[in-house]
Amino acid sequence: MSNTRANFQSRLNDQGLSLFRHNLFPAAYRIWRLAHTLHATTTFDSDWCRALDLLGLQLNCLDRNAQAEPYLRAALAEKERTLPPGNSMINASVMNLARVLGTLPVGKYEEAEALWRRAVGYWIEREGVSGENVMQSWVELAAVLYKQDREEKVKEAERLARRVLGHRERILGGRHYQTLECVWLVGSIVEKKGSYEEALGCYERAYEGASQVLGEGHADTQDYLCDLLRLRE
């Protein structure tokens, strides 16, 4: 790429970032897309993929997940097109898209499940079955499985959640925030199965632990409290 062309592309990327910082996301996308057209089509464009990730992740943070989905999907497709299989950036996009799909209506859950299974496979190859990234991917897979309201999926979700809970209790202790996340997830799953007494105990444990570890004002503490109060009623 000539210096003139590269400089123009750089200015466009800077302009897109300025628009992004002002939450002008469609305008930022158009500018970044224009900059991308100046890049060779057969090679990885790190600026373009970073732009798509920024847009998707920021919209996800703003709870605008339906709008985040196409950007994260495009980022994954572009990385898969231009990077070798198994690249860590591809896996990052797999997980980003899976998280968003798991928050969307029920029709997206099966695709989210497939993506989390793919992420689990990636991390097992690199960490073995006891790696923390494997554990977290199992937690997120379990969360998507139990939302599908199918008996075999709920059973698998419970098995995964209990496995991760046992691991985290041994490694991190019973009061660690990641352990408490698993306690709450087990509670959500067994509540769906109709085991209300066990679910109530899980919610109580999660709330009491989080109020001490994270504080009463933390979003997770508030979520655990809401489920506790709802089930007590």
Number of domains in the chain: 1
Q: What is the rounded (10 degree) CA torsion for 223, 226, 232, 233?
A: -150
Q: Say if 191 falls within a structural domain.
A: no
Q: Give domain status of residue 192, yes or no.
A: no
The answer to whether the beta carbons of residues 60 and 51 sit under 8 Å apart is no
Residue 70 within a domain: yes
The span from the first CA to the last CA of the chain, in angstroms, equals: 66
Residue 228 within any structural domain of the chain = no
Whole-angstrom CA distances from 157 to 82, 84, 143, 146, 218 are 34, 32, 7, 6, 26
> Which helix (H) or strand (E) covers residue 213, if one does?
helix 196-213
Residue 184 lies in a domain: no
In contact, 137 and 119? CB cutoff 8 Å: yes
Domain-embedded: residue 49 = yes
The residue range of the domain holding 74 is: 12-84
pTM value? 0.91
From first to last of the 233 residues of the chain, give the pLDDT tens digit: 567 888 899 999 999 999 999 999 999 999 999 999 998 888 999 999 999 999 999 999 999 999 999 999 999 999 999 999 999 999 999 999 999 999 998 779 999 999 999 999 999 999 999 999 999 999 999 999 999 989 999 999 999 999 999 999 999 999 999 999 999 999 999 999 999 999 999 999 999 999 999 999 999 999 999 999 999 98
Candidates 93, 67, 66; CA nearest to 78 is: 93
How does DSSP assign 100-150, residue by residue?
HHTTS-GGGHHHHHHHHHHHHHHHHHHH-TT-HHHHHHHHHHHHHHHTT--
